[in-house]
A and B are shown apart, each in its own frame.
Chain A
Amino acid sequence: DSGVTQTPKHLITATGQRVTLRCSPRSGDLSVYWYQQSLDQGLQFLIQYYNGEERAKGNILERFSAQQFPDLHSELNLSSLELGDSALYFCASSEGVGDNQPQHFGDGTRLSIL
Chain B
Amino acid sequence: AQSVAQPEDQVNVAEGNPLTVKCTYSVSGNPYLFWYVQYPNRGLQFLLKYITGDNLVKGSYGFEAEFNKSQTSFHLKKPSALVSDSALYFCAVRDTYAGAGSYQLTFGKGTKLSVIP
Contact = CB atoms under 8 A, between A and B. Distances in A.
Contact of A98 (B44, B103, B110): B103
Chain A interface, DSSP helix/strand/loop, else mixed:
loop
Contacts of B34: 102
Interface residues of B, number: 22
B105 interface: yes
Contacts of B51: 100
B45 A55 contact: no
A108 B43 contact: yes
A59 B96 CA distance: 21
Interface string A100-114: 101111111000000
Interface of A: 2, 4, 42-43, 45, 48, 55-56, 58, 90, 92, 97-100, 102-108
8 contacts: A2-B43, A42-B110, A45-B105, A98-B105, A99-B103, A100-B94, A105-B45, A107-B43
Interface of B: 32, 34, 36, 41-46, 49, 51, 90, 94, 102-110
